[in-house]
Amino acid sequence: MARKTRIAVFVSGGGTNLQALLEAERDGIITDGEIVLVLSNNPNAYALERAKAFGVEGICVDKKEYPDLASRERETVRILEEKQIDLIVLAGYLSILSAEFTARYEGRIINVHPSLIPSFCGKGYYGLKVHEAALSYGVKVTGATVHYVNEIPDGGKIIAQRAVEIQEGDTPELLQKRVMQEAEWKILPLATQIVSKKLRGV
C-alpha cells in the first residue's frame, strides 16, 4: 500500500486555514495525506504555535536571513527534499513563488484564494483587499477557491469553489470572516484530500 502523501503547509500569519487542515486530518476528513511540516517566512507567525500544538514540525525560512527570493527558495527546496514532501498547501502564504519553483512542483502546489476566481484575483489581490474590491464592485455573491499554483498568480486550474452570499451591512472584515468560516475552512481540507489521494495513486 502506497504511503500517505506528505504535506507541507506554507503560512505567514495567524494560521486559521492551517488550523482547519490540522483538525480535518485529526477528524478523518484528510485520510490520504499527512501534514508533516509547517513552513513560514515569518518567525512571529502564530501558525507555528498551532503546528506545535498538533505535534507538527514548524520551520521558518526568514526573509531577514534570506533577503532575496532565489536564496529563500533554495533553502525551501532543500528542506522540502529533506522532508520528502509530496504536496505543498499555501494557506495564507504572503509571498509570490517564482516560475522556477512552481515548475519544479507542478501539480503539487495548491492555494486557497478568498474569492470566486476569476473574480478579484491575481497580483495585488490578497487579504482584505479582495473583500474590499468585492464590496466596492457591488457583487451579491463571493466565496473562496482552491486551485493549483502555476507561474501566474491565482492562474492555475480550479479544484474546488464555494459561494458565500454578501449581506446588507457587510464590511470587508465581516465578509473576510464569513468567507473563511463558510468557504475556506471547508473547501481547503476537501481539496487537500482530493489532491493527496490523486498523488498517492490509490
Per-residue pLDDT at 87:
98
| Res 144: pLDDT | 97
pLDDT in tens, 103-134: 999 999 999 999 999 999 988 898 899 999 99
**What's the average model confidence in pLDDT over 27-43?**
97
Note the Cα 111 to chain centre separation in Å.
4
Please report, as a single letter, which amino acid is at residue 171: T
**CATH of residue 52:** 3.40.50.170
What residue numbers bound the domain in which 62 lies?
Answer: 5-200
Provide the pLDDT for residue 138. 95
113 is catalytic: yes
Q: How many other CB atoms sit within 10 Å of the CB of residue 194?
A: 18
Q: Which of 4, 72, 108, 113 is catalytic?
A: 113
Residue-wise pLDDT for 127-141, tens only, equals 899 999 999 999 999
Instruction: Report the pLDDT value the prediction gives residue 124, as an integer from 0 to 100.
Output: 87
pLDDT at 54: 97
pLDDT value at 1 more than 70: no
- Average per-residue pLDDT for the chain: 95
Q: Pick the closest to residue 159 from 127, 197, 126, 111 (CA basis).
A: 111
Query: How many domains does the chain fold into?
Result: 1
Q: Report the alpha-carbon distance of residue 148 to residue 22 in Å, rounded.
A: 20
